[in-house]
Structure 1
Amino acid sequence: MKHKSATIYRMVTPKHLCPWGIKAFDLLKRNGYNIEDKHLETKDANKAYKEENGYDETPQIFVEGERIGGYDQLREHLGLGPDPKEGKTYQPVLAVFAVTFLMAITTTWALQGSLDLVRIIELFIAFSMCVLGILKIQDLMSFATGFVQYDLVARRYVPYSYVYPFVEAGAGILMIAGLFTWIAAPAALIVSTIGAVSVIKAVYIEKRDLNCACVGGGSEVPLGFISLTENLMMMAISVWMLLKA
């Protein structure tokens, strides 16, 4: 079977490798093309190539001498869906929940030699609180900017937005070992209840279209059901730990 030929013009310099060029080259290779790989080895060469040919971007891909265009156009040519780069998505939160759930399962098995469902749920929520707290703490300023847009307390007292992530992560840490429950559980219950009410008011009553700061500032996670779930989980584990204590 004869392979089709393709030519790709992409930026490859000692200090910069165009990521879209790498991905386009990989797509062509995995789809069985014989590739002529043309490197634009300086920024000036890249700029000159675009200006001379009237292109807005590189890489530029040609198949059997016919210009296809850039990386997105190549995906379309190959019958693939768009490669998502921007836009709102629940993927960051779902990734956290998936990993922390598996952590809870393996930790329970390692410590108890069995799959105790109650302990798995306890650890799952506590691990999730810790990870979500880390994501907020890594850029407190950015988190606070998003958080004050909808949290009822943070809108009136901005410093609260800098405290929230530490309460969330700290309560999760203490709940893992069952330490200082009478401090950790009430603190988590208070902030999560405020958070739940805030989400309900902003999303379901005021119908505002906002991004959630649950995985830190600057994310494209929509404020809504997943955000409410985070707060409800914290509320549930807080009440359970208090009753258990």
Structure 2
Amino acid sequence: MLDRTIPHNLARKAVLYRMVMPGHTCPYGLKTKDLLQRSGYEVDDHHLTTREETDAFKAQHGVPTTPQVFIDGQRVGGYDDLRRFLGKPVADPKATTYRPVIVLFTLTALTAMAASHAVNGTPFTLRAAEWFIAFSMVVLAMMKLQNVESFATMFLNYDLLAMRWIPYSYIYPYAEGLAGVLMVAGALNWLSVPVAMFIGTVGAVSVFKAVYIDKRELKCACVGGSSNVPLGFISLTENLMMIAMAVWMAAGSIGLIATHAM
């Protein structure tokens, strides 16, 4: 088997300056050192141990931040600059992405299946499907409530009811979370069903109008006010899931009442 390691005497070398202070170690400095080492570089690691030393270094090299990497006597720059230098992708913090909702729905689906397996001995049950929607509602509410002000501001861009009654933009995530928790428990259907039906219907109509009628390009507040998820199919799906769950649970409750009446 061929040895693919770089011989020590042929190892590429990089000089790294990063903050390592008694009360703070720069996380980007750690990431930069790790990236250099994983890319086959021998790192000459210089620690900037005081604020004065850090400020003097930045002034000397005319740079606003640390860490800073030098290769072959030339300054490469910070962590993102190093990624570009190595031909690796650099995430754009403003780019739209579906990743947050994909991760969220994947984990809630797996959690629902795990709960079903623990209770019923199999992950593939009707209850798992119900839990998936209910867990998703709870987690989506939690994401919104991380910063309810930011969520409310983004929500006001497209929700028809919130634009007419501002308090609804603050009530919505609490209502979604409450309905989700009750649906997980299968309790108080008389409360969870109308709440989910109401907010789901208003949300679906609002998203459909904004995206498919008005053709507006907006960001969705579904996973919080700081997300870059585009308003569209995913947002509509969230609301349709709530409506479907409400209809399903209402039908189940009616069926149960009918059974007891016989």
**1:16 partnered with 2:52:** no
Q: TM-score, normalised by structure 1?
A: 0.93
Write the distance in 2 (CA, Å) between the matches of 1:41 and 1:106: 48
**1:119 partnered with 2:127:** yes
Write the distance in 2 (CA, Å) between the matches of 1:28 and 1:159: 50
Name the SS of the counterpart of 1:155 in structure 2: helix
Q: TM-score, normalised by structure 2?
A: 0.87
Q: Which residue of 2 is the match for residue 68 of structure 1?
A: 76
Q: CA deviation at 1:184?
A: 1.0
Q: 1:233 aligns with which of 217, 229, 241?
A: 241
Q: Which residue of 2 is the match for residue 88 of structure 1?
A: 96
Instruction: Work out the number of aligned pairs and report it.
Output: 245
Q: 2:109 aligns with which of 101, 110, 123?
A: 101
Q: CA deviation at 1:25?
A: 0.6
Q: CA deviation at 1:198?
A: 0.6
Q: CA deviation at 1:151?
A: 0.6
**1:173 partnered with 2:181:** yes
Name the SS of the counterpart of 2:37 in structure 1: helix
Which runs of no fewer than 5 residues in structure 2 stay unpaired?
1-6, 254-262
Q: 2:152 aligns with which of 136, 144, 150?
A: 144
Write the distance in 2 (CA, Å) between the matches of 1:53 and 1:47: 10
Assess, with a 3 A threshold, how the Cα gap between structure 1 residues 220 and 197 changes in structure 2: closer, same or farther: same
Write the distance in 1 (CA, Å) between the matches of 2:97 and 2:52: 37
Superposition RMSD on alpha carbons, in Å? Answer: 1.7
Q: CA deviation at 1:173?
A: 1.2
Q: Which residue of 2 is the match for residue 206 of structure 1?
A: 214
Write the distance in 2 (CA, Å) between the matches of 1:115 and 1:45: 57
Q: 2:51 aligns with which of 36, 43, 47?
A: 43
Q: Which residue of 2 is the match for residue 128 of structure 1?
A: 136
String of CA shifts for 1:180-217, please: whole Å, max 9, x gaps: 21321121011111001111111222222222111222
Stretches of 4+ aligned residues off by more than 6 angstroms: none
Q: Which residue of 1 is the match for residue 192 of structure 2?
A: 184
Q: Which residue of 2 is the match for residue 27 of structure 1?
A: 35
Which deviates more from structure 2 when the two are superposed, residues 222-231 or residues 75-84? 75-84
Which runs of no fewer than 5 residues in structure 1 stay unpaired?
none
* Rg (Cα) greater in structure: 2
Name the SS of the counterpart of 2:45 in structure 1: strand
Q: Which residue of 1 is the match for residue 4 of structure 2?
A: none
| Equivalent AA in structure 2 for residue 151 of structure 1 | D
**1:5 partnered with 2:13:** yes
Name the SS of the counterpart of 2:211 in structure 1: helix
